[in-house]
Chain A
Amino acid sequence: MKGKILVVDDDNIIIRSCKGVLEPMGYDVSGTINPREALELIRDNDYDLLITDMIMPGIDGFELIKRTKELKPDTTVIAMTGYSIKETIKDTLEYGIMDYLQKPFSPNILADTVDRVTNLARKLKSQLAITEEDDVDGTHKIEAVNALIKQYKTVPGSLITVLSKTQEIIGYLPPAIQRLIAKGLRIPVSEVHSVVSFYPCYTMKVRGRHNIRVCIGAACYAKKADSIVQKLCNHLHFDEDNVTDDKKFSYELVRCLGACASAPVIEVDHDTHGTVDPDKITEILKDYN
């Protein structure tokens, strides 16, 4: 089973079609047209994902999500909306909504969104468990991003600046944030995404607390940067996104840090380490906690 999903919508057709699409994909899908019943189900079961309509009689979508988060903070949420998502998008981080499905949606979009969100949520969950104490102040961050957008709204060609600064604030660029920026700067979402996916500096994935950048430019390669990577991987256990299990370190390969004379070079956070001896990589990392 790929995951347990609860679909809440006052329209039974939606529930039935969600089941029709998602069950063959290997998801365990339950559904209800009654938000109150949904809360009971959530209390008694452990759902990985809640897909909910926003406008419903009795309890509306926001209320449902809020109470769900109180009951089971780990539940991932996709919001279905029949109207423009302009007002609701700013609540993304506040309510913990991972993504939106704008009605009407095709089976393909539903399948893609659910797959993407469950994958992302799995990675995020372990991350959140650790950073919860220091910072889950989503609203605060969103305010900062909004201020940024306001500041750069009238500056032509400011997209790259805004994206860079947003990544500094949030740490990565999830789809919802890209949409927020697109709206704010009056640029098509596709263009924002094209820029995010083009430049290697931008990441849509969560990074570790300390990011190690190993230079594999020509000079560093000639000085055996590959054995640095190898030692690093032997020493720490990275998952497929190159993040360690405890989210302490992540690594990425970069094309040239411009310090060829001190090759091989690595950067840990903002510190440059030159003439790195692969065998001594653990000593360098000792200073980062």
Chain B
Amino acid sequence: MPQITADDLKNIKAVYKDPRQRGARASIMLCGGSSCSTRGSLKLKETFEKELKQRNLDSEVSIYVTGCNGFCTQSPLLTLYPGGIFYESLTPEDIIQIIEQHILKGEHYSKSLYSTGKDSIAAFSDIPFFKFQTSRVLKNRGLTDPDNIDDYIGGNGYFALLKAVTETEPSAIISELKASGLRGRGGGGFPTGLKWEICKKAGSSPNNRNKYVICNAGPISRNISDTDPHSIVEGMAIAARATGASKGYIYIREPEHRFIISRMNHAVAKAKEYGLLGTKIFGTDFDFDIEVATGAGTFICGEETALISSLEGTRGFPKPKPPYPAVRGLWGKPTIVDNAETFANVPLIILNGANWFRSVGTEKSPGTKIFTLTGEVINNGLIEVPMGTTLRSIVNDLGGGMKKKRKLKAIHIGGPTGGFIPESLLDTPATFEDIVKAGAIVGSGNIIVMDDNTCMVNTAMFSMEFAKGESCGKCSPCRIGTTVMYDKLVDITEGRGKPGDIEILQDIAFEVKRTSLCGLGQTSPLAVLTTIKYFRDEYEKHINEKWCPTGRCKALTTFNIDEKACKGCTSCARKCPVGAITGEKKQPHKIDQTICIKCRTCFETCTFGSIRILGQQTGTREA
């Protein structure tokens, strides 16, 4: 179907039938996202087909495999229409029961419904994890097949491109974007409209088509390519129209991410087949083509100038800015680099207008933001919330609170180079500026919730190990600074900390942040700075008392049994992997310190709280 016209597009949409209404009796939307398919959702499909056929229901019930639903802890999962009933953690036996009870008798199959612990919730839209979300970029999640372009067109897909190409002037696209206040979702939060405007003005002649549009599809973009890869393609095409670029690249950092690569390749090929990419798009003189390019791993290539170096076939070294890529980027030509989520927002703004976009979010950070919520909260998964939602709401309402009723200690936000925000600042709204004010960054939008079992010094050490390993080595503050900080933190966690170390760490972290060339070096010290700022007492305990209160730093820990609290239930002795715990039944037990490997198993096993974590040398402090 080359040279698709506006009428063709409208036709596709008109004849498109929502998969939720395809089955006369029931329509099953089975999640085929990466998490669900690794846990056997395709096997479930076979079971469905076989069992439905046996019962002669196959003509009345439709099964549709969709993209990722986002609620990955509950996978494999499905929603059943009519009603949108949500079933989770499914096995083939559950499928038979769903057919027997739900489809045949019309009763909910309660075993597989979502449960809050007390009650079960049937309808997908009532589950808190979904209820508190605002689906914009992810509006199609769980409803469409990401590999099917018609599904995307059926939900108004590519109509924004049609509008941008046939009705709107490039400058009008940019002013709409500027009015919307969309900020780059890659972490920095640079105003997208402004970036595009710079790129549009750059270049020698007004008709210079030697410009590039690059989608930085790092691992986090897996989420969008899992649900709606075409929204990225459409957003990039609109960017090309606005800035006058003729060539686009979808840069996927990890060549092992075959899942994203094949999905994006498929989406681009389909768009080309439909004539939505290529020459004379919608019969106009607008040409745009996209190529899927892969990198070769390494975190630094998520930085835009390093990404460009990698695309040029060299080591992924960042370059000093300015000149910004929008002025001088790939092969020295003006280049737009935006991440997948930013591009996915663009068609929505073009179609619905800047005011609609601003209807959620805050004045300075309008719109929604996708976060991956993980760690010690009950619900893990992919969430899209209006910017400005407080972190507390994300943890409690969407996350469903802490696992095992543990106490929240801190949340780590912004990906591996992000910072830590303590419990006391949980009312911080999730906006670019507020999170930076708290000392962290929005970054990749990864939120890790940590409970009181986490040692902040140890976690900061891990962050530095990451930064040290991923530093590209081009500029010395980052290359040397991260290594020095890592060594210092190792010393502290192994009992060699000295008074004054905290100040040294702070000084180095500050200088690395101030003098590094690119975002990696500028943000990786945040882990050290925020842990010192909010958890200084923990550092002091490690250094002055040689005591790790959480028992994570083995060199600073001994595990002891409080004889008064021990009930002699023997469960710790049975769990101990090295047999260090001895004692008679109903008598207080003892831990042999020469055998103990400090694995924390006894601490986690004991239900009476009789295991005490004490310091190594003094052995007198109590947790």
Contacts and interface: CB of A to CB of B under 8 A. Distances in A.
Contacts of B256: 201, 213, 257, 267, 270
Contacts of B218: 258
B381 interface: yes
B255 A263 contact: no
Given A219-B448, A274-B72, A201 B38 contact: no
Contact of B219 (A202, A257, A270): A257
B380 A195 contact: no
Given A218-B412, A258-B254, A198 B381 contact: no
Given A164-B296, A201-B256, A271-B38, A219 B446 contact: yes
Given A260-B446, A263-B374, A199 B72 contact: no
A273 B39 CA distance: 8
Interface residues of B, number: 57
Given A257-B219, A261-B73, A261-B382, A201 B255 contact: yes
A217 B450 CA distance: 15
A271 B256 CA distance: 10
A161 B294 contact: yes
Interface in A244-271: 254-263, 267, 270-271
Contact of B463 (A164, A194, A218, A261): A218
A74 B281 CA distance: 61
A260 B372 contact: yes
Contact of B315 (A194, A258, A260): A194
A263 B418 CA distance: 18
A160 B314 CA distance: 8
B396 interface: no
Contacts of B375: 219, 222-223
Contacts of A221: 462
A273 B35 CA distance: 8
A217 B467 CA distance: 11
A221 B374 CA distance: 11
A156 interface: yes
B282 interface: no
A198 B315 contact: yes
Interface stretch (B99-107, B305-313, B558-566): B305-313
Interface in B429-452: 446, 448, 450
A178 to B, nearest CB: 14
A256 B315 contact: no
Contacts of A243: none
A200 interface: yes
A254 B372 contact: no
B374 A274 contact: no
A204 B372 CA distance: 35
Given A201-B297, A218-B415, A258-B222, A274 B39 contact: yes
A258 B219 contact: yes
Contact of A222 (B73, B373, B448): B448
Contacts of A219: 372, 374-375, 446, 448
Contacts of B416: 217-218, 255-256
B356 interface: no
B297 A218 contact: no
B448 A261 contact: no
Interface size class of A (residues with CB under 8 A): 35 or more
B471 to A, nearest CB: 12
Contacts of A119: none
A222 B374 CA distance: 9
Contacts of B407: none
Contact of B255 (A157, A164, A256, A275): A164
Contacts of B259: 272
B448 A218 contact: yes
A139 interface: no
Contacts of B257: 257-258
Given A156-B331, A164-B255, A218-B446, A198 B312 contact: no
Interface string B242-266: 0000000000001111111000000
A46 interface: no
Contacts of B73: 261-262, 275
Contacts of A218: 412, 415-416, 418, 446, 448, 462-463, 466
B412 A222 contact: yes
Interface string A59-74: 0000000000000000
* Central interface residue in A216, A217, A273, by most chain B CB within 10 Å: A217
A158 interface: yes
B38 A274 contact: yes
A254 B415 CA distance: 15
Interface string A152-169: 000011111101100000
A282 to B, nearest CB: 16
B299 interface: yes
A263 B450 CA distance: 14
B470 interface: yes
Interface string B15-44: 000000000000000000011001100000
A223 B448 CA distance: 10
A11 interface: no
Nearest to A230: B599
A257 B416 CA distance: 12
Interface in B200-224: 218-222
Contacts of A258: 218-222, 254, 257, 260
B116 interface: no
A273 B315 CA distance: 30
A191 B382 contact: no
Contacts of A163: 296
Nearest to A273: B38
A255 B374 contact: no
Contacts of A260: 220, 372, 374, 446, 448
B148 interface: no
B617 interface: no
Contact of B313 (A158, A216, A255): A158
B248 to A, nearest CB: 15
A255 B470 contact: yes
A159 B448 CA distance: 37
A252 to B, nearest CB: 10
A192 to B, nearest CB: 10
Contact of B72 (A159, A194, A261): A261
A227 to B, nearest CB: 9
Contact of A201 (B39, B254, B293): B254
A157 B446 CA distance: 32
A225 to B, nearest CB: 10
A109 B34 CA distance: 49
A241 B562 CA distance: 44
B311 A157 contact: yes
8 contacts: A160-B313, A161-B313, A198-B316, A222-B450, A258-B222, A259-B35, A259-B72, A274-B34
Interface of A: 156-161, 163-164, 191, 194-195, 198-202, 213, 216-219, 221-223, 254-263, 267, 270-275
Given A199-B296, A259-B34, A272-B259, 14 more contacts: A157-B311, A157-B312, A160-B313, A194-B314, A194-B315, A195-B313, A199-B298, A201-B298, A218-B446, A219-B375, A219-B446, A257-B254, A261-B381, A263-B380
The 4 closest A-B pairs by CB, nearest first: A258-B219, A199-B296, A157-B313, A159-B313
